[in-house]
Amino acid sequence: MKDGLRENFFTSRRRPAFVLDEEQFRRCCQLLLQRSDQLGDGWSWEAVQGSEEGYLRKTALRSVPSDWGPLHDQEGFSFHPQTLYDGSYTGTNSSSLVVQYEYHILFSCSYGAPVLYFRAFTLEGKSLALEEMWSTIHPNYRLRLQNFPLNAISQQEHPLLGQPFFFLHPCRTEEFMGLVLQAAQDQGRPVNYVLSWLSVVGPVVGLDVPLQYCTPLHSAVSLNSTKPD
């Protein structure tokens, strides 16, 4: 019976698995959305017509250093001279490229976890191919992801829209989320699964999750929804 965040396989040898169900997912999303509205962070909830099912969506512009990869060789990219957006990885003051991103957070029933789908376009509307997309990944993440390509970023048909998107495979999500949730549970601290997960995976694909999502606000926003029974 699904009753929220439940514990499975609870033996002395294996820590409980934290599995999200769809209702929990929606509640986490709504809380995230509330904060996003307060912060003006741009997330919206896209409902599937006639159902409660849906996903979070956000678009963002990113400036990607042109010396990260072959993007500057492609037609249709806009150049504008500007310092690199991430000061910690700096070559010369080379030009950078502006890319439009669209991020979707969907729920995976089979993994009991959120999944990040995304796609990217030039300012002229040309969509990025997989190889081009790799060039927009921060070099710090690229090596790790490249070592395990099958389970990292790949292309897949969007489950609800049917269009090709990139996505971060969710098979490892429970592994790192479980550690965090277990620690939080031990401390009696409630956690927003989707927010926590997003803070980890977002930066890998250029999605910034501002600190303000978890600083206390003078409001009734509660993050209790993912507390295990």
CB of 125 to other proteins, least distance (A): 28
Nearer to other proteins by Cβ, of 100 and 182: the residue is 182
What is the binding site for other proteins (CB under 8 A)? 15, 86-88, 138, 140, 143-145, 147-152, 168-169, 172, 175-176, 179-180, 182-184, 187, 189, 191-192, 195-196, 199-200, 203, 208-209, 211, 213-215
Active site residues: 171
| 3 state DSSP class of 117 | strand
Q: What long-range pairs does 191-194 form, CB within 8 A, spacing at least 24?
A: 191/223, 191/226, 191/227, 192/28, 192/31, 192/32, 192/223, 192/225, 192/226, 193/5, 193/18, 193/20, 193/24, 193/25, 193/28, 193/114, 193/226, 194/25, 194/28, 194/29, 194/32, 194/56, 194/105, 194/114
Nearer to other proteins by Cβ, of 51 and 147: the residue is 147
Nearer to other proteins by Cβ, of 66 and 196: the residue is 196
CB of 131 to other proteins, least distance (A): 19
CB of 207 to other proteins, least distance (A): 10
How far apart (Å, rounded) are the C-alpha atoms in residues 192 and 34? 13
